[in-house]
C-alpha cells in the first residue's frame, strides 16, 4: 500500500488528538494510503522529543519552515495557535503539500481568503478540522435533514459553552490575546457552531451580535499554561484583548433564523456544544456531552404518540459506526478526529475534495467577522459587507 509522510506542527492538545487519529484511522478503516508519522515540530525541543517518542513520530524539529521544504513530506498537519495558520498554509501550498489544518482557520476573513486561494491555485487537498461534522449523530442529523424529515427549517438554536477561564487569575494564554487568536470564544467556539449551522441549515445572510469581555486584565502565563490549563502565572498583569462571551442572531439565506451563544464563563459547562433545529415536519436536538445520542421529533407520528425520541446513534448502519464496536458500545470525542483522518486519506487517494475545507473556513470567518462589526457598530450586518 502506498505510504504518505505526515509532518505535524504543534504538539499539545490538538497535536495529541491528531497523533491519535493518524495512528488509529488505518487500523479501523480500510484505507488505500498508509500514513507515516514522519516529523513532529513543536516549540520546545525536549517536550517535542518526548511527544514524538510517545506517539511514534520518527523525527523532531523546532523549525516548521524547514519541515515544509522537505521533499519527502506529503501532508502538513497544522495544530498551532491560530495566528500561525496563514503562514504555514501558504508555505505548504507553495511547496505542494496536502493540508490538514485546525480551526478557526485564521485571524480574519482576508487571511482566510488568501489561504483558500493559495491552496486552490496549488491544486492541493485542503481540509479544515471542524471535527464535529464527523460526530456520527451529527452526520446522521444531516442525513435526516437531506431526506426531508424536518421539512422546511425555521430555527437553529445553538450554544457552545465552557467555563475554563471564569477564575480571574487564569493566566493570559495565547487564547486571550487577539494577535494570537483573533478573538475569544466567538472564534474558538462560534466557528464550530457557524460551521455546523452552515452544514445543517445553509448559508448565513446577515447577523447582529454582542461581544463582551468580563475580565479585562490577567496575570501573564508561565511556561506550563495552555489550553484548559492554568499552570503557573507571573505577578505581572497583561490586557485581555478578546471577548469572553459572544451572542449572535442570524438570518439564513433560506429564510431560517438562528441564535448562537458562545462563552468561556458558563460555570459548570465544560464542553457544552449544543443545538436545536426546528422544522415544519420535525425537530432535532444534540448535546456533545451526550454525543452518541440524537433527539428527534417526527410530526408525522400519530398526534398522541408524538414526542422527542432518543436515537442511540451506534448501529453499524449509522455513519462511521460500522468501523467501530457493536451497537451500544459508545464512542468518544477522539473518534471524530479519526473519522476526519480516514476521510482525508480517502479523498487524497481518490483525488476528490473534502469538506469542511479552507473555503468553508473563509465562509465561516465572513460570518464571524460580520458579527464583530455588528457588535462594534450596534447594527445588523450583511455578511457580504465583509470583503
Ligand atoms: N478542533 C477542535 O475542537 C479544537 C480544540 C482545541 C484547539 N483547536 C485549535 O487547534 C489549534 C491549536 O490549539 P491547541 O489547543 O492544541 O494549542 P496548544 O497551546 O495546546 O498547542 C500549541 C502547539 O503549537 C506549538 N507552536 C506554537 N508556536 C510554534 C512555532 N512557532 N513553531 C512550532 N510549533 C509552535 C506549541 O509548541 C504547541 O505544541 C488552535 O488553532 C485551536 O483553535 C481545535
The per-residue pLDDT for range 57-87, each reduced to its tens digit, is 999 999 999 999 999 999 999 999 999 999 9
43 pocket-lining for ligand 1 (C-beta < 6 Å): yes
41 pocket-lining for ligand 1 (C-beta < 6 Å): yes
> What confidence category does residue 267 fall into, taking pLDDT thresholds of 50, 70 and 90?
very high
Measure 84 CA to ligand 1 centroid, in angstroms.
9
Residue 80 per-residue DSSP state? S
Residue in this structure with the C-alpha cell 489550553, named with its chain if needed? 227
Measure 10 CA to ligand 1 centroid, in angstroms.
5
Q: What is the pLDDT of residue 337?
A: 98
14 pocket-lining for ligand 1 (C-beta < 6 Å): yes
68 pocket-lining for ligand 1 (C-beta < 6 Å): no
Over 90: is that where the pLDDT of 122 sits?
A: yes
Which ligand 1 atom is the nearest neighbour of the CA of 85?
41
271 pocket-lining for ligand 1 (C-beta < 6 Å): no
- Closest Cα to atom 29 of ligand 1: 43
Over 90: is that where the pLDDT of 47 sits?
A: yes
Measure 149 CA to ligand 1 centroid, in angstroms.
39
Question: In the chain, which ranges are E strands?
Answer: 2-9, 33-41, 59-61, 75-78, 98-102, 126-129, 153-161, 204-212, 217-221, 233-239, 245-252, 257-263, 272-279, 282-287, 293-298, 309-312, 381-382
Measure 82 CA to ligand 1 centroid, in angstroms.
7
Over 90: is that where the pLDDT of 155 sits?
A: yes
* Pairing assessment for the beta strands 233-239 and 204-212 based on DSSP bridges: unpaired
The per-residue pLDDT for range 217-266, each reduced to its tens digit, is 999 999 889 899 998 888 899 999 999 999 999 999 999 999 999 999 99
Listed residue (130, 139, 131, 160) closest to 284, CA to CA:
139
11 pocket-lining for ligand 1 (C-beta < 6 Å): yes
Q: What is the pLDDT of residue 235?
A: 86
Backbone angles phi, psi at 266, to 5 degrees: -95, 85
The per-residue pLDDT for range 169-209, each reduced to its tens digit, is 999 999 999 999 999 999 999 999 999 999 999 999 999 99
Q: What is the pLDDT of residue 234?
A: 81
Q: What is the pLDDT of residue 1?
A: 86
- Closest Cα to atom 21 of ligand 1: 12
Percent of the chain's residues with pLDDT above 70: 100
Under a CB-based contact definition with an 8 Å cutoff, are residues 172 and 238 in contact?
yes
Measure 148 CA to ligand 1 centroid, in angstroms.
39
The per-residue pLDDT for range 271-287, each reduced to its tens digit, is 999 999 999 999 999 99
Over 90: is that where the pLDDT of 269 sits?
A: yes
Q: What grid cell was written down for 226? A: 495552555
- Closest Cα to atom 40 of ligand 1: 81
Q: What is the pLDDT of residue 26?
A: 98
Which ligand 1 atom is the nearest neighbour of the CA of 188?
43
Listed residue (253, 238, 86) closest to 169, CA to CA:
238
Amino acid at each position: 500500500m502506498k505510504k504518505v509522510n505526515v509532518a505535524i506542527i504543534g504538539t499539545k492538545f490538538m497535536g495529541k488528538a491528531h497523533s491519535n487519529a493518524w495512528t488509529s484511522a488505518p487500523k479501523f478503516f480500510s484505507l488505500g494510503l498508509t500514513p507515516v508519522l514522519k516529523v513532529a515540530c513543536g516549540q520546545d525541543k525536549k517536550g517535542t522529543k518526548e511527544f514524538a517518542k510517545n506517539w511514534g513520530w520518527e523525527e523532531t524539529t523546532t523549525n516548521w519552515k524547514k519541515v515544509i521544504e522537505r521533499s519527502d513530506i506529503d501532508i502538513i498537519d497544522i495544530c498551532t495557535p491560530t495566528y500561525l495558520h496563514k503562514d504555514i498554509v501558504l508555505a505548504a501550498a507553495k511547496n505542494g503539500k496536502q493540508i490538514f489544518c485546525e480551526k478557526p482557520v485564521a485571524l480574519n476573513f482576508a487571511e482566510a481568503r488568501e489561504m483558500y486561494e493559495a491552496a486552490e491555485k496549488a491544486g492541493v487537498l485542503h481540509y479544515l478540522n471542524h471535527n464535529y461534522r464527523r460526530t456520527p449523530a451529527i452526520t446522521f442529523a444531516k442525513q435526516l435533514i437531506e431526506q426531508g424529515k424536518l421539512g422546511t427549517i425555521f430555527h437553529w438554536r445553538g450554544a457552545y459553552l465552557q467555563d475554563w477561564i471564569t477564575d480571574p487569575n487564569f493566566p493570559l494564554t495565547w487564547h486571550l490575546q487577539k494577535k494570537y487568536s483573533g478573538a475569544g470564544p466567538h472564534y474558538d467556539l462560534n466557528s464550530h457552531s457557524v460551521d455546523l449551522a452552515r452544514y445543517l441549515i445553509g448559508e448565513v445572510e446577515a447577523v447582529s451580535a454582542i461581544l463582551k469581555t468580563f475580565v479585562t486584565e490577567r496575570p501573564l502565563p508561565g511556561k506550563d499554561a495552555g489550553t484548559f490549563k492554568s499552570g503557573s502565572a507571573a505577578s505581572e498583569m497583561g490586557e485581555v484583548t478578546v471577548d469572553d462571551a459572544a451572542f449572535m442572531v442570524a438570518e439564513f439565506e433560506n429564510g431560517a433564523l438562528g441564535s448562537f451563544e458562545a462563552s468561556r464563563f458558563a460555570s459548570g459547562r465544560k464542553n457544552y456544544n449544543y443545538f436545536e433545529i426546528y422544522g415544519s415536519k420535525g425537530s432535532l436536538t444534540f448535546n456533545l456531552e451526550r454525543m452518541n445520542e440524537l433527539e428527534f421529533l417526527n410530526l408525522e407520528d400519530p398526534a398522541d404518540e408524538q414526542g422527542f425520541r432518543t436515537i442511540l446513534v451506534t448501529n453499524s448502519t449509522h455513519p462511521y459506526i460500522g468501523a467501530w464496536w457493536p451497537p451500544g458500545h459508545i464512542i468518544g470525542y477522539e473518534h471524530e478526529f479519526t473519522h476526519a483522518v480516514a476521510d482525508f486519506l480517502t479523498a487524497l487517494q481518490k483525488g476528490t475534495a473534502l469538506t469542511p475545507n479552507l473555503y468553508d473556513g473563509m465562509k465561516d470567518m465572513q460570518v464571524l467577522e460580520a458579527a464583530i462589526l455588528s457588535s462594534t457598530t450596534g447594527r445588523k450586518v450583511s455578511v457580504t459587507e465583509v470583503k
